[in-house]
Amino acid sequence: MTRRIGGDWIAREVLEIQGLRVHFDTLDGSVEALNSVDLKVDEGQIMGLVGESGCGKSVTSLVSIGLATCEVDEGSVRYQGEELLFRDSPSNSRIQQFTEKITAFGVMATIFSFFATILVEPNFFSTLFLFFLAITVTSWLVGFSAKTESRKHQRYMRWVRGNEISMIFQEPMSALNPLYKVSKQISEVMREHDRLVEAETPRIERIGSALLSPISMVRKSFSSNPRQSLVALAALSFVFAAQLSGSKDQILDVFSAPIILFADLSSWLLAFGTAISGFDLISLFGDTINLTIALIMVFVDHIFIVGGMGAIYGYGKIADDSPFSDLSLYIPHVIASYLAVFLMIWMPLSGLSAILVICALLAVPFIIWADFLRLDPAHIRQVEGILDDVRIPDPKAVANMYPHELSGGMRQRVMIGMMMACEPKLLIADEPTTALDVTIQAQILNLMKVLRDEKGTAILLITHDLGVIAEMCDDVTVMYAGRVVEKASVREIFSNPLHAYTRGLIACTPSLESERGSVLPAIPGQVANPSDFASGCRFCQRMEREGNTLVTRPEFLEASEGHWVESCPICLDESQDRWV
């Protein structure tokens, strides 16, 4: 709902952050990341959050959706009036800390007493084992009950993420699993948030189809590759016939004949070469095995004319006029099949049968389960519709691809489609156009605008590119060193920047007025280490200024209607700007 004040409609806040202060615990102590951050995003608004790397933009967004690993010291994050930050009561926190220590000690003592029961004294240590086991279970149950409110909040946040607030990460592969196809990942999001359409295929029919899937797979293999399937079946039949015929040794002798022939030939050549003065084949090839391999390569090279040893591995050049040029392509498969059949005949029948049974027992359940998890046709069409909404040219083909098969722009579109599938009211976009070329950047930004216009989604756009801010945003919040230093409409920020840091960012941005070959100015220095932040004006700390401005934090005041700025007198004075 919206509020009506004095005849004007005022949009309701979708996201409201007030006085947010967080820190990270490190080996060097506590490091402050955000200091009294205030931010507001209204319905249908595109709010830009701009600043250099390390200013706290991403931390702000992650804290908002409960994914940050930092500790919240104070402040509030509200979504449509509902608090998103969870603070446990001091008594519950103390109980949890105490029970965690008791549980850890109890686990170690239980393990020690268990082994002592076996190795030392059963009577005494068995009693001790039961005592420590009871302590461990009791402390764990007490700690578990103390986390009841925390678990409720986690369930609420899981519902908020995706249903109400979605986030586009800077790198698409952070959100896309390389092991699953696009259709599977999008449908998983829809399933988690109860947005899947009703399946066409009844569950009983799916179960029956899955149970018959091994037979269907064999039938499909014979229909799609009849020649290879018949060869494999014939080879397997031959192996079992040889095993059961009683003439296994004679068949093995026949299979060994080619190798024995080349081995005898190599031995004869070694003896012949030794008899010839000055020609030592042993020094050339090393031993009989190497010479045998060399003879096989010569045979392949001259009989099939496949360009030497490289063709065995797939990179030899085949003579076009050779009558065996097509056959030579199958040499690796023939050699591998020859060795496989030889080994299966050589193995005892009981061992071969056991291996085949074990392979079947391991493979069949996975085949059945994979078939059962196949997407229903209705779900596939739903995924294709989602991809079509984000202007992907061939949604049917893209839905069947893995993330690594897509370009950076396509992956970004897929992620936007995934995040927008549940029609959230707030979309947080963290550097959505990073590492994309200019054309794709424009397409992604235009897509986000269209989605905002069509679905009324508010957008928090995090970027360091002021060009993107000028093109996309309604309002801008400028962050520096974990603080908000200026906030206004996009037109006001570019026409009348008040803070020195904002003026520096604008000065560093190329424009049509820039002269060809000119060097863009840059803000001197860099953002200070968070552990060394000044308590006063942090931009003055960067500019190496002195005085009370480094000690006393400037107030955040409204300079004009809707234009808020951190009121450091030096930073407000444009004559003090010094760019390099």
The pLDDT tens digits of the residues spanning 181-216 come to 999 999 988 888 888 888 888 888 888 888 888 888
Mapped onto helix, strand or coil, the DSSP state of residue 151 is helix
Q: Which residues contact 222 (CB under 8 A, 6 or more apart)?
A: 229, 230
527 within some domain: no
Instruction: Give dist(CA 150, CA 164) in Å, integer.
Output: 20
Would you state the pLDDT for residue 273? 52
Mean pLDDT of the 386-393 span: 87
122 within some domain: yes
Q: State the residue for tokens 């002021």.
A: 466
> Ranked by mean pLDDT, which of 11-20, 132-141, 447-456, 508-517 comes out on top?
132-141
Amino acid at 260: I
27 within some domain: no
Give the domain extent around 128: 86-151
Would you state the pLDDT for residue 367? 84
448 within some domain: no
> Please, which pLDDT band fits residue 8 given cuts at 50, 70 and 90?
very low
561 within some domain: no
Q: How many CA atoms lie within 13 A of 489 on its CB side?
A: 7
361 within some domain: no
Q: Tokens at residue 11, please? A: 């949009």
User: Among 85-89, 232-236, 330-334, whose mean pLDDT is lowest?
Assistant: 330-334
| Number of domains observed in the structure of the chain | 1
Mean pLDDT of the 305-310 span: 42
Is-contact 420 455, C-beta < 8 A? yes
Q: Which residues of 201-211 are buried (b: 16+ CB within 10 A; e: fewer)?
A: eeeeebeeebe
Q: Within 10 A of 442 (CB to CB), how many other CB atoms are there?
A: 14
Tell me the percentage of the chain whose pLDDT exceeds 90.
33
Q: Within 10 A of 49 (CB to CB), how many other CB atoms are there?
A: 29
Is-contact 221 229, C-beta < 8 A? yes
pLDDT in tens, 142-186: 999 999 999 999 999 988 988 899 988 877 777 788 899 999 999
- Of 144, 26, 22, which is closest to residue 482 (Cα–Cα)? 22
Q: State the residue for tokens 């040219």.
A: 393
Is-contact 181 395, C-beta < 8 A? no
478 within some domain: no
Mapped onto helix, strand or coil, the DSSP state of residue 132 is helix
pLDDT for 54 beyond 70: yes
397 within some domain: no
Is-contact 551 535, C-beta < 8 A? yes
